[in-house]
Amino acid sequence: MAFEFHLPDIGEGLTEATIVSWRVPVGATVGLDEPMVEVETDKAVVEIPAPRAGVVLHHGAPAGATIAVGSLLVVIGEAGEVWVSGAAATPRVSPGRQAGVAKPIVGHLEEGPTSESVSGKPRALPLVRRLAATLGVDLSTVRGSGPGGRIVRGDVEAAGRGSGPAERVRMSPTRLAIARNLTRSWQEIPHVTTFGVADPKALLSARSLLARAGGEPVPLEALLVLAVVPVLREYPEFNAAVDGDYLVLRKQLDIGIAVDTPEGLMVAVVRSADTRDVAGLSAVIVRLAAAARARTIAAADLRGATFTISNIGAVGGGYGTPIIPYGTTAILSVGRAEEKAVVRQGSVVVGMELPLSLSYDHRVIDGARGRAFLAAVITNIEGITK
């Protein structure tokens, strides 16, 4: 009997995924747990194995399409079997649905000959109304070309062209996830950002010595983690989370490292950072960063950071106002070290300055604690050794 397999929730809170490529075409045989399809979630490209052995009878969506969790992904049956949409198949309960209840709607609803509903409002689906709001189009001025005079997407896009040429490009699942998470953080967390500057001479010297000794570059983030870890122990509210009326002071130090990838910024998590030396930190940071850029990083490695370090200096940045990752209370942004006219022992000389920006949750951290935390980090950066 044909087995209908629906898109599962393969990530924490996943709502949809985009089909990247089908590994097994319709009509081909697939074995149990063999790679069947690649999908792009909001964090990574994930390979979904076949839930059973058999012949692929139907693809629920082509490559490039985005489908919701619970939607039909694939149908697998026996050789020579014919699957008909809507026919009885192996029962399966999708999230929030009952097996056999949700069926595809074929055709369209019959409507009257005008583009206005009984309420007098233009006929348009919610998705089309949101598009009109985005483009600044007044639906009452649009003539619908859809069934029964319904206003469809093309009608709104055509009406919006009067303001100039534009192209609508759907954001990738990764970019959509970034947008959702940052919006939630910005809306719910009262941000405060404090700035400081460190003399990076010791930091850069230690990095150079370690690279020569080990024969390969040492990521700056590895040394920054070493500088931050003891300060997080001294100021535990910076390694915490707000949960209703409670502040959860985390005992583990799982440091998030912001990684710039072609798909957007990802935060890879170095677990138990306080138990690793500089060589161990370097190895795991290099591995995670490479996996994030290649879109092969495990979803678990992108969750659960307790504090985040963002090295914006790697892309030429200086000071910034970093947004706190949701579920944490602080983030440290480190800019590019540059030569400046600085005062050293009462004289103005050419020296190096490392710009630092610390954003923290003002609900639980006051300004004095924020300045004290950053001052302690600066002290550790300026006193770091190999």
pLDDT the model gives residue 366: 97
Q: What is the DSSP-derived secondary structure letter of residue 189?
A: S
- In a shared domain, residues 55 and 153: no
Please give the residue that has the higher pLDDT: either 128 or 173: 173
Indicate whether 32 belongs to any domain: yes
Residues 288, 218 within the same domain: yes
Asked whether residue 109 carries a pLDDT value surpassing 60, the answer given is: no
What is the sign, positive or negative, of the torsion defined by CA atoms of 53, 55, 61, 65? positive
pLDDT tens string 272-295 = 999 999 999 999 999 999 999 998
- pLDDT at 98 (0 to 100): 35
CB-count exposure of residue 195 (10 Å: 0-12, 13-18, 19+): middle
Query: pLDDT per residue over 223-239, tens digit each?
Result: 999 999 999 999 999 99
In contact, 21 and 91? CB cutoff 8 Å: no
Any idea how long the chain is?
Answer: 386
Catalytic choice (6, 59, 191, 362): 362
Give how many domains the chain has, as a whole number.
Answer: 3
- The answer to whether residue 302 sits within a structural domain is yes
Structure confidence at residue 243 as a pLDDT band (50, 70, 90): very high
Shared domain check, 213 and 146: no
The secondary element (H helix, E strand) that includes residue 222 is: helix 220-234
**Predicted confidence (pLDDT) at residue 345 exceeds the cutoff of 60:** yes
What digits encode the pLDDT tens for the residues 293-307? 998 999 899 999 999
Domain annotation covers residue 97 = no
Q: Which residues contact 236 (CB under 8 A, 6 or more apart)?
A: 249, 250
Q: Across residues 109-129, what is the average pLDDT?
A: 56
Last residue of a domain, one of 27, 57, 77: 77
Which of 36, 62, 77 is the endpoint of a domain? 77
pLDDT at 320 over 80: yes
**CATH classification at residue 22:** 2.40.50.100
Give the whole-angstrom CA distance, residue 207 versus residue 217. Answer: 8
Burial 285-313 (b: 16+ CB within 10 A, else e): bbebbebbeebebeeebbebbbbbbbbbb
Q: Are residues 123 and 203 in the same domain?
A: no
> 261 vs 15, which has greater pLDDT?
261
pLDDT at 246: 95
Work out the pLDDT band at 171, boundaries 50, 70, 90.
confident
Domain end position, chosen among 131, 165, 199: 165
* Parent domain of 120: 107-165
Is residue 116 domain-shared with residue 225, that is, in the same domain?
no
Q: Is 108 a catalytic residue?
A: no
Q: What is the pLDDT of residues 38-82, one digit of tens each?
A: 888 766 778 898 999 999 999 999 988 888 888 999 999 998 888
The verdict on residue 212 lying in a domain is yes
Average pLDDT over residues 335-341: 90
Can you give the CATH number for the domain in which 156 is found?
Answer: 4.10.320.10
- Rounded to whole angstroms, how far apart are CA atoms 373 and 216? 32
